[in-house]
Chains A and B, each alone.
Chain A
Amino acid sequence: MKMPLQFRVNGEDYEVYVEPWKTLLEVLRDELELTGTKAGCLAGECGTCTVIVDGKAVKSCLMLAPQAAGREIMTVEGLAQGGKLHPLQQAFIDHFAFQCGFCTPGMLMSSKALLDENPHPTADDVKEGLYGNFCRCTGYVKILEAVLAAGAKPRG
């Protein structure tokens, strides 16, 4: 049985009708067609599905959709503003921080949550903040460099 779900995603209000046994990940991808958020392991392990809920990075594959009601969600689609990439996105490009790119949306959202909490993190802080995000391609070093570079810049 479907139930109404109202929430804010990337600054826009949505009302959708969802089956309560759907996860936030499924609703974002299948109902809102925001397919930037990736479905990886579906078990909370890999981090590709990471989104920001009320300011905190969470795994959307482990959040039941009704738990998102009334909350403020940010996905990778919400990072760029007015056609301009977010400084983190630009840093990922500048530092070659992706290859296949499957982990990138999750990496970006974990990094965004981290920088919002701690604008100038150390390398250890970044490793800690990205601990729940796997990358099968890059070996992580470039990702670390990109986040540190974005963190070093004054952000407006």
Chain B
Amino acid sequence: MRPFEYLAPKDLDEACSLLSKHRDEAKILSGGQSLVALLRQRLVSPAYVIDIRRVPGLDYIREDKDGLSIGALTTHRTVEISPAVAKRFPMLAEAEHRLAHRQVRNWGTIGGNLSHADPGGDLAPSLMALGAEVKVVSAKGKRTIPVVEFFTDYMVTVIEPDEIMVEVSIPYLKAGSGGAYHKESIRAGDRPIASVAAVVSLDGKAGIIRSARIALGGVGLTPILAKEAGKSLAGKKATAAVVLEAGAIAAREAQPTADVEGSVEYKRHIVGLLTRDMLNLAMARAQSK
């Protein structure tokens, strides 16, 4: 690692003022489960590392009136085993359960995971499909960004160099809705060949799909909201044929590249199958509510 100056702000205000002073020369450190590896490989060489790990008030899971709020410094493990997450968004607990392994989950944080913006990250697809937002703050103020607008390019987000992510908030599902997420990978916990999150809202009596949102991981420069696939389901009766068709559309919306995880064709194929399976699971869950 190249030498850097280590700064440990005692609160959010101090963290913001350090960031507004050092901007591009600084990197935020949360759990370091991604950053330390980048530092070691000298892929990043900041002059300042601003460690926000002990900044108080950013480690919580709160059941608010309209949604679940998760502080940016909440660890993966805390989210994985949270009763509130299990009750409200089992798909998120499932995503966490297959994110890396116990040691990484014990120290890595939800804010760091999203900010790192690995297109194969396990949390973004579910959060996109659920319509979640992130809150960021800086010395200038705060803003809220829908997760679907958060990622702009390979490992790039809309976060400015002086901004800190402080919270992820997820609106509760309406009655008759359900969600599911699965990562297909060579070993469970590895990088995805492809991953798919689906959230479906059903019109109970008629068996009609009111709306569906599908998001894909690991098959593009960013996580992808498969808009057309979701749209294709709205207002349709939930038959095997429409679900299969949505899978085919999602496979076309994916933008995979060939690598050790598989060829372009294979990854698209997996996207199609996972989309079908996650839609079916999401609908089964929607009906059981």
**A interface list, Cβ under 8 A from B:** 1, 3, 19-21, 23, 42-44, 47, 50, 53, 56-59, 61-64, 66-67, 110, 113-114, 128-129, 131-132
Partner of B2, one of A21, A110, A114: A21
> Does B208 count as interface, using CB distance less than 8 angstroms?
no
A-B contact pairs, 5 of them (CB 8 A): A21-B49, A44-B33, A44-B103, A64-B36, A64-B49
Chain B 24-68 interface 0/1 with A at a Cβ cutoff of 8 Å (1 = within): 000001001100110110000000010101000000000000000
A131 near B107 with CB under 8 A, answer no
B2 near A58 with CB under 8 A, answer no
> Does B82 count as interface, using CB distance less than 8 angstroms?
no
- Chain B residue nearest to A70 (CB atoms) is B54
Query: In whole angstroms, what is the CA distance A129 to B51 when docked?
Result: 28
Q: Considering the complex, which residues of chain B in the window 1-17 have a beta carbon less than 8 Å from any beta carbon of chain A? A: 1-6, 8
A132 near B101 with CB under 8 A, answer yes
A3 near B101 with CB under 8 A, answer no
**B interface list, Cβ under 8 A from A:** 1-6, 8, 29, 32-33, 36-37, 39-40, 49, 51, 53, 77, 100-104, 106-107, 188-189
Partner of B104, one of A3, A113, A114, A132: A132
The distance from the CB of A35 to the nearest CB of chain B, in whole angstroms, is: 20
With A59-B104, A62-B107 as given contacts, are A23 and B36 in contact (CB-CB < 8 Å)? yes
A110 near B103 with CB under 8 A, answer yes
- Chain B residue nearest to A50 (CB atoms) is B103
Contacts of A61 in B (CB 8 A): 36
A64 near B51 with CB under 8 A, answer yes
Contacts of B3 in A (CB 8 A): 1, 19, 21
Contacts of B4 in A (CB 8 A): 20-21
The distance from the CB of B194 to the nearest CB of chain A, in whole angstroms, is: 21
- Chain B residue nearest to A60 (CB atoms) is B103
Query: In whole angstroms, what is the CA distance A74 to B8 when docked?
Result: 24
Q: Which secondary structure dominates chain A's binding surface? A: mixed
The distance from the CB of B215 to the nearest CB of chain A, in whole angstroms, is: 26
Contacts of A132 in B (CB 8 A): 100-104
The distance from the CB of B34 to the nearest CB of chain A, in whole angstroms, is: 9
Query: In whole angstroms, what is the CA distance A10 to B54 when docked?
Result: 23
B32 near A110 with CB under 8 A, answer no
Contacts of B1 in A (CB 8 A): 21
Query: In whole angstroms, what is the CA distance A98 to B231 when docked?
Result: 55
Contacts of B106 in A (CB 8 A): 56-58
A58 near B6 with CB under 8 A, answer no
Contacts of B49 in A (CB 8 A): 20-21, 64
A66 near B102 with CB under 8 A, answer no
Partner of B107, one of A1, A43, A63: A63
Contacts of A57 in B (CB 8 A): 102-103, 106
Contacts of B2 in A (CB 8 A): 21
Query: In whole angstroms, what is the CA distance A114 to B3 when docked?
Result: 35
Contacts of A1 in B (CB 8 A): 3, 5
Contacts of B104 in A (CB 8 A): 44, 59, 62, 132
